[in-house]
Amino acid sequence: MIDRRDFLARFGGVFEHSPFIAERALDAGRIVPPLTADGIHAALVAEFRAASREEQHGVLRAHPDLAGRLAIAGNLTEDSRREQAGAGLDRLTPQEHARFTALNAAYTETFGFSFIIAVKGLTKDDILAAFERRIGNDAEQEFETAKAEVERIARLRLQALIPGE
């Protein structure tokens, strides 16, 4: 049997500041032993996709700007801090930071949520190129792209929590 409190403490943050995803997956009986990254990911993604459009937007809005004010203030979740640092976003030149800030502002104004990308394995240049390419998407295309990136981030976080998969 899966202990609810332990499960939520361990996996409730896989979708950024959105523990309701893990709660619903557990309550729906989607979480079954043995706990594997693939199994938990499938369960969480099913709940994310079943969530209302407004709830999905809430999950997207829970993600911080890349190299944004939360990062500067040191107020990112540990997962987000580690992910952004791994891509070098904590070591931007003033010019690079200004470019990220301008793109973040334009993107958020256009789409209503921060630019989301699974940064693992990417460089700051890769991220900037994706930023500049995706800012031209229409709203529905970018909503779907951002959701896919959130799901990719969740998979990477689960793989870090359950090593060996």
Non-local (6+) Cβ contacts of 88 within 8 A are 123, 124
Catalytic residue among 41, 57, 63, 97: 63
Q: How far is the C-alpha of 12 from the C-alpha of 153, rounded, in Å?
A: 14
The two tokens of residue 100 are: 């990220």
Kindly tell me the burial class for residue 94, based on how many C-beta atoms sit within 10 Å of its own C-beta (0-12, 13-18, 19 or more).
exposed
Place of tokens 């190299």: 67
57 a catalytic residue: no
Residue 109: how many other CB atoms lie within 10 Å: 8
Q: Dihedrals φ, ψ of 98, to 5°?
A: -60, -40
Active site residues: 63
